[in-house]
Structures are given as structure tokens and as C-alpha cells.
């Protein structure tokens, strides 16, 4: 943390997640993006034993498929909610975790009591292939990056190449990330991907941006996800077992990759440090991790920056099988964005949903044994914006 930077006020044990839900996932052509959000919200409300009238705060993210400027207000209108706290946030894939932070701060300061957080869109069926490609290409600095044909996969490929150059990370280690998450997705009844994937299939998949192939890249799904946050006091009286926020940290280093201070060190170290300090925990206390995985290089970097292994050892961690359910640190137990679902900001939100479910228990073969503390990390942009959160099934 920068010298002189003030430590944020602690949110430990002040709020809990009391309901989670996800929409139908995959190709859902009969539903709009708003419809997917509404379905996920209804399922989260049912999970919590709450009604729409119990919600006095709504946070959502952004959409590439819905033509609304004030998406948060439109979603409230669609759901029939008249909240005293509402916003739509655009922090890329980091939006869900940062929305949880804003929700916790709002509840702690008395601005709202029970906040619905949701995100998602119909990216698979609500956008043409050409529009999707245009979205992937419309990134980068308009003067210094876009003129050279930049794309989102291309930027992450540059990061992967640099990590391979500096640390000896191999193409096979990247592929192990994809296989690990696919194996976990096969245990999830609502995952987008239903078929096994082998190391050979990942390595020989269609090239996208060297060294990344098709199966190193996240899905394009129709999907929506939601969770409900309330005070720890109120959570004790509700239907579902509460999962308590122990620590949360946010950090931003750049917007355009040309301005990033490094291609191997990003802001997860700082966001993680804040979350650990607030929770009073260390990486050794974490039972499972849900790490943002838009491309296979990303969870490798996050694993290192969040202190689970040394720089350069993330690839070997996955290769050794430590990230599987039953391993040293199960990672992306729902299948992540590589195999469960990715639809805008919903991708990272599903990591929060899965962490809550793991901490409640009862997931059968997908259940991490004795799961008590989970870490979730969301990142947005090209590893630009970071938010780390730590959840526990009991107050710490």
C-alpha cells in the first residue's frame, strides 16, 4: 500500500449474504438480459425467504445487449422495486465484488438495509457474431493501441507471453487451468459446458492469440446472477444460512495496458492485502478460492499475487493438481468463466454465488470438505481493476 494511504474502515462481520441465485445458463433465446437478471433475482429472493418489497437497495452493472443508459433504474422498474439506494456500476469484471463492497458500506452507514446485487445479459443469443467481435476489438487506447488492431484476447496473450518469458510458465500449464475448471463444471447442474475436455483438446484447439487457443478463452453465455446482502443482525432472522463478509479490498492500477506498471504484476496484491488485513487472516486460512478466469493466464497471476504461491509458481500449482476439488486449494469449483458461464459482469458474480454455496455445504461431489472460509477475486479491464473479498460461514 502506498505510504500514507489511509486504511479503510473495517466491514468485518457487519453484513452477510443471505440469498443467491442464478438464471438459466447457456443459450436462452427466449429471454432478454433483463429477464435473466429478474430470474436470478427471484431465485435469490426465494433462497433468502424474502419478497421484492423487502428490498430497499439495488445495484447492477452494465450491459452490451440492453439499450439502456440508466440500467440500474430500468432494472428496478422491471422488478417493481422502488429503492432508496440504487446505482449501475461499470468497473468491468470487477463490478460484482465492488458492488458487494458498496452494498456493505451502504448498509453499515444506514443508507439501506437489504440490497439486491445482480448482473448479466444475453450475450450468446442477444448479440450477433459480428457485434461480439466488434466488442472484443473496441478496447485499448483510441490513439495508441486501437490503430494497431488490438483485441481483448490479444492483450491477455501479451500478458501470458511475458509471464512465460519471465518465469518459464508453459503452454501445458495454461491448458491445465482449462481442464481443471471443466472438470469442476461437469459437477455443476447449471453449467454452460457439459462435455469433458482433455489436455490435448485444449492444446490443439483453434488458435486465437498466441499462446491462447479457443479453450483458453472464457465462454459467451446467456446468464444472470444475483445475491442479497443485509446486516449481520437481520441475517440471523432469515431463512437461509448467512455467509459473513470478513474482508474486502479494492485497487486500480491503469485502464489501458500501455499504462500498466508491469505485465506480470497487477493490483491483486494490494486488494488482497486489504482484504486479508480486514479479515485478520492469511492465505493459509483460505479453504477455497473463486478466481476470475477470463483467460487461463489470469488465475495463475491471481494465485501468485494473492499469496497462495510465489511469483512464477502459479502454472506449476495447477499442473500438480493442487487446484482440483480435494486438492491443496480448490479453485473455481463451479467451473469458472471458462466452463460455467460468462455474460458480462455476471462472470465474476457467479464466483461469489459459488463461494456462498460452498460455505453453506451440501453440494455433493462438488463440495469442498470442511469449507469454512472462501476467497473471491474479481478483476476488470485488462487486469486493471481489482477487488478481493473473504467470506466465512461464521463470524470471525
Class of residue 183 by CB neighbours under 10 A (exposed 0-12, middle 13-18, buried 19+): middle
Sequence spans of domains, the chain: 15-126+220-237
Q: CA-CA distance, 162 to 118, in Å (whole number)?
A: 35
What mean pLDDT is predicted for residues 259-269? 96
User: Do residues 260 and 383 lie in contact, with contact meaning Cβ atoms separated by under 8 Å?
Assistant: yes
Task: Kindly report the average pLDDT of the chain as a whole number.
Answer: 96
- What confidence score (pLDDT) does residue 67 get? 85
List 116's β-bridge partners, or say none: 58, 228
Q: What is the pLDDT of residues 302-319, one digit of tens each?
A: 999 999 999 999 999 999
376 within 8 A of 97, measured Cβ to Cβ: yes
* Residues 163/301, Cβ–Cβ less than 8 Å: yes
* CATH T-level assignment (fold) for domain 15-126+220-237: Peroxisomal Thiolase; Chain A, domain 1 (3.40.47)
The angle, 0 to 180 degrees and rounded to 10, between the axes of the packed helices 71-79 and 33-48 is: 60
Give CB contacts under 8 A, 24+ apart, made by 48-53: 48/18, 48/19, 48/228, 48/238, 48/239, 48/240, 49/19, 49/238, 49/239, 49/240, 50/18, 50/19, 50/114, 50/228, 50/238, 52/79, 52/80, 52/81
The structure's pTM equals: 0.97
Assigned C-alpha cell, 388: 478481493
Residue 218 has pLDDT above 60, yes or no: yes
pLDDT score recorded for residue 226: 98
Res 334: pLDDT: 98
Nearest of 50, 39, 7 to residue 234 by alpha carbon: 50
* Mean pLDDT of the region 223-236: 97
Residue 2: pLDDT band by 50, 70, 90 thresholds?
A: low
Report the pLDDT value the prediction gives residue 119, as an integer from 0 to 100.
97
- How far is Cα 214 from Cα 248, in angstroms, rounded to an integer? 33
- Kindly tell me if the per-residue pLDDT of 276 is higher than 80: yes
Residue 4: pLDDT band (50, 70, 90) is low
User: Taking each helix axis from N to C terminus, what angle separates 152-167 and 297-305, rounded to the nearest 10 degrees?
Assistant: 60
Q: Kindly state the average pLDDT of the residues 140-163.
A: 93
In this predicted model, what pLDDT tens digit does every residue of 158-189 receive, in sequence order? 999 999 999 999 999 999 999 999 999 999 99
Please report the beta strands in the chain, taking only residues with DSSP state E, as ranges in sequence order. 15-22, 57-60, 85-88, 114-122, 207-209, 212-213, 222-231, 243-252, 288-291, 373-380, 385-392
| pLDDT digit string, tens, across residues 30-77 | 999 999 999 999 999 999 999 999 999 999 999 999 889 999 999 999
Cell representation of residue 323: 487446484
* Residue 247 near residue 274 (C-beta atoms within 8 A): yes
Taking CA atoms, 299 is separated from 1, 41, 331, in Å, by 22, 28, 9
Amino acid at each position: 500500500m502506498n505510504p500514507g494511504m489511509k486504511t479503510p474502515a473495517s466491514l468485518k462481520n457487519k453484513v452477510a449474504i443471505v440469498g443467491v441465485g442464478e438464471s438459466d445458463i447457456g443459450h436462452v433465446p427466449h429471454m432478454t438480459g433483463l429477464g435473466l437478471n429478474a430470474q436470478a433475482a427471484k431465485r435469490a429472493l426465494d433462497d433468502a425467504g424474502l419478497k421484492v418489497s423487502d428490498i430497499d437497495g439495488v445495484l447492477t452493472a452494465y450491459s452490451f445487449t440492453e439499450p439502456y443508459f440508466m440500467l440500474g433504474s430500468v432494472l428496478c422498474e422491471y422488478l417493481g422495486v422502488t429503492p432508496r439506494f440504487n446505482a449501475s456500476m461499470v468497473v468491468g469484471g470487477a463490478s460484482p465484488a465492488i458492488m458487494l463492497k458498496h452494498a456493505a458500506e451502504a448498509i453499515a452507514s444506514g443508507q439501506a438495509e437489504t440490497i439486491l446485487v445482480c448482473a448479466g445479459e444475453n450475450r450468446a443469443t442477444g448479440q450477433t457474431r459480428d457485434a461480439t467481435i466488434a466488442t472484443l476489438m473496441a478496447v485499448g487506447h483510441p490513439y495508441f493501441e486501437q490503430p494497431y488492431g488490438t483485441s481483448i484476447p490479444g492483450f491477455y496473450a501479451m500478458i501470458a507471453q511475458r509471464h512465460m518469458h519471465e518465469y518459464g510458465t508453459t503452454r501445458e500449464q495454461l491448458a491445465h487451468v482449462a481442464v481443471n475448471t471443466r472438470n469442476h463444471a461437469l459437477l455443476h447442474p447449471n453449467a454452460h459446458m457439459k462435455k469433458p475436455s482433455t489436455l490435448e483438446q485444449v492444446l490443439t484447439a483453434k488458435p486465437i492469440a498466441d499462446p491462447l487457443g479457443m479453450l483458453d478463452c472464457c465462454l459467451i453465455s446467456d446468464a444472470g446472477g444475483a445475491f442479497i446482502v443485509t446486516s449481520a443482525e437481520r441475517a440471523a432472522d432469515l431463512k437461509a444460512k448467512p455467509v459473513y463478509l470478513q474482508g474486502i479490498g479494492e485497487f486500480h492500477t491503469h485502464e489501458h495496458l500501455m499504462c500498466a506498471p508491469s505485465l506480470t504484476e497487477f493490483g491483486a496484491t494490494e486488494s488482497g492485502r486489504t482484504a486479508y488485513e480486514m479479515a485478520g487472516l492469511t492465505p493459509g486460512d483460505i479453504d477455497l478460492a473463486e478466481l476470475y478466469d477470463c483467460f487461463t493466464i489470469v488465475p495463475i497471476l491471481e494465485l501468485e499475487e494473492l499469496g497462495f504461491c510465489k511469483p512464477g509458481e502459479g502454472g506449476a500449482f495447477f499442473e500438480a493438481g493442487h487446484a482440483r476439488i480435494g486438492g491443496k486449494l480448490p479453485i473455481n469449483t463451479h467451473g469458472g468463466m471458462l466452463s460455467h458461464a460468462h455474460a458480462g459482469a455476471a462472470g465474476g458474480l457467479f464466483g461469489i454465488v459459488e463461494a456462498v454455496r460452498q460455505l453453506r455445504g451440501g453440494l455433493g461431489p462438488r463440495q469442498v470438505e470442511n469449507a469454512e472460509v472462501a476467497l473471491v477475486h474479481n478483476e476488470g479491464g485488462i487486469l486493471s481493476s481489482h477487488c478481493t473479498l473473504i467470506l466465512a460461514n461464521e463470524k470471525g
